[in-house]
A and B are shown apart, each in its own frame.
Chain A
Amino acid sequence: MSEVDVQAAITRAHRAEWARVVAILTRRLGDFDRAEEAAAEAFATAVERWPTDGVPPSPGAWLTTTAGRKAIDRLRRESRRDDRYREARLLSGDDGDTPPEPIGAVDDVRLRLIFTCCHPALAPEARVALTLRMVGGLTVPEIARAFLVRETTMGARITRAKSKIATARIPYRVPAAADLPARVGGVLAVLYLVFNEGYLASGPPGTDPVRADLTAEAIRLTRLLRALLPDDGEVAGLLALMLLIEARRTARVSSDGVLVPLGEQDRGAWDTALIAEGHRLVRERLAAVAAATTAGSAPGRYQILAAINAVHTSARDADDTDWSQIIALYDQLIRLDPAPIIVLNRSIAVAELDGPEVALAAVDRLAAPLSTYHAYHATRADLLRRLGRDQQARAAYDRALALSTNTAETAYLTRRRDHPRATVRPDHG
């Protein structure tokens, strides 16, 4: 096997096996920190050994065994009595005083890992960081870069979260069935946050407007969750939503780094495979909701957002978009969650159906809750521009620019502000 092939095998194993190795080690060691350390050592050993010894037939089993040995070696080097006791337990495969856990309908070690990392007792930013480290296998420097904080800050954030898990005894298990819907919601929120940070990356001038590594990681983790919880409608909904947004990624930013709004995107550049998969998931959910008889099976926000994106991606041309369908879906979403941001997004569809004047009236009612939100000012600016109220539009663009942290959006808003009558056409050549 060539060196390149071995490298590829290691990368594949890292993607496929990291979470499982960490999860199994956490269960055996009862310690997040040691599990992560041992997993990292096992992968380092693979990098050292596989090029000469060859890639083992079952990389996952090899890595788990190696990580287990590394953990035991480390415990042996430490001579405290309780560690010796723990070592004895490890070697005998006995879980000691850990009470037997009730096996839920769904039980996968990785799922426990995700639920622990996204525990509501942890700070939201710690949940995101810990999930990317423990489940996603990203390194601390990688996570720090993604969220534009210093490595030491991110390292401290992760260490503090791990220490809280250990000290406050945050359990390492899938929540009981009664708590599951609420807790799955928390996990989905983390994954959506990771996705959004990739999709609308914040950063100073010159930084990448889209972090494809983060969107890809969020999709990968959501796929994993979907495989583990295939009957959860919101998991399917979030996956569909991510796929339908990801499908438009390359068309969303022009080659010179300017955001291209949905209506002006080159729809031929959309990823048809991702759209087909997203549409399949949305249809699956529509059928499931139609077949369900209980009130609790009504679609949640991710399923509705996915359906909205399915309507957008079904239109061959922006002018073919079924705006009344989109507004109906937003109304459904607002009944579930009347957040001002959702009302703002609805008004964009209203502008297409009833004209910018009607939409602007709706947007202006959101001034109080959204005055510090860049998209509020960007939406207002666009509506004012379309109404020919250029001076007011300019002021709104300035406010949006002051609040925007995404380089592609900044470029787009600047161009619109300075050339209100020109169309911003994509230059895909």
Chain B
Amino acid sequence: MQYLMSVIQDRPELGTEQEQAAIDVFNTRLQEQGHWVFAGGLGFPDTATVVDNRGGEALVTDGPFVESKEFLAGFWILEAADLDVALALAAEGSKACNRRIEIRPFL
């Protein structure tokens, strides 16, 4: 079972060095225990570009598709037996990156 663990960013500044070090420790643990699938940090929403090719001609627009105070700062994709395992990992991940985390199952 795979889960998407989204990092909720609700402040303008980037992660600190201390947070990055804690995330590295957490990532190593995920890899060692077989939970790691993929992870990554994302650029700020103002670096986003929206592409719409539904009409046959690709329209390119600057900016995120929704403007909001909270946005996705990064994510993990995890392998976990069930939600309890995923929640325990999310608790650790939230502590490591010092941000709130949303857990969602892949279908």
Interface residues of A (CB under 8 A from B): 99, 119, 121, 167-171, 175, 179
Contacts and interface: CB of A to CB of B under 8 A. Distances in A.
Most buried by B among A119, A168, A171, A175: A168
B33 to A, nearest CB: 16
A168 B105 CA distance: 5
A99 B83 contact: no
B1 interface: yes
B96 interface: no
B84 interface: yes
Nearest to A176: B84
Contacts of A171: 81-84
B87 interface: yes
B107 A167 contact: yes
B107 A170 contact: no
Nearest to B104: A168
Interface residues of B, number: 10
Interface of A is mostly: loop
B94 to A, nearest CB: 15
Contact of B1 (A119, A121, A169): A169
Nearest to A170: B83
Interface of B is mostly: mixed
B81 A99 contact: yes
A119 B87 CA distance: 12
Nearest to B105: A168
Contacts of A121: 83, 87
Nearest to B84: A171
Given A119-B83, A169-B83, 8 more contacts: A121-B87, A167-B107, A168-B105, A169-B1, A170-B83, A171-B81, A171-B82, A179-B84
A226 B83 CA distance: 27
Nearest to B82: A171
Contacts of A179: 84
Contacts of B104: 168
Contact of A175 (B1, B84, B105): B84
A170 B85 CA distance: 10
A175 B87 CA distance: 13
A245 B103 CA distance: 40
Contacts of B84: 170-171, 175, 179
23 contacts: A99-B81, A119-B83, A121-B83, A121-B87, A167-B105, A167-B107, A168-B83, A168-B103, A168-B104, A168-B105, A169-B1, A169-B82, A169-B83, A169-B105, A170-B82, A170-B83, A170-B84, A171-B81, A171-B82, A171-B83, A171-B84, A175-B84, A179-B84
A167 B87 CA distance: 15
Nearest to A179: B84
Contacts of B82: 169-171
Contacts of B87: 121
Nearest to B1: A169
Interface in B79-107: 81-84, 87, 103-105, 107
Most buried by A among B1, B83, B103: B83
The 4 lowest CB-CB distance pairs between A and B, nearest first, are A171-B82, A168-B105, A169-B82, A170-B83
A121 B83 CA distance: 9
Contacts of B107: 167
A230 to B, nearest CB: 25
Contacts of A175: 84
Nearest to B88: A179
Most buried by B among A121, A169, A179: A169
A175 B104 CA distance: 21
A119 to B, nearest CB: 8
A99 B1 CA distance: 13
B51 to A, nearest CB: 29
Contacts of A169: 1, 82-83, 105
A166 to B, nearest CB: 10
Interface string B1-24: 100000000000000000000000
A171 B88 CA distance: 13
Contacts of B105: 167-169
B91 to A, nearest CB: 11
A84 to B, nearest CB: 21
A168 B82 CA distance: 8
A120 to B, nearest CB: 8
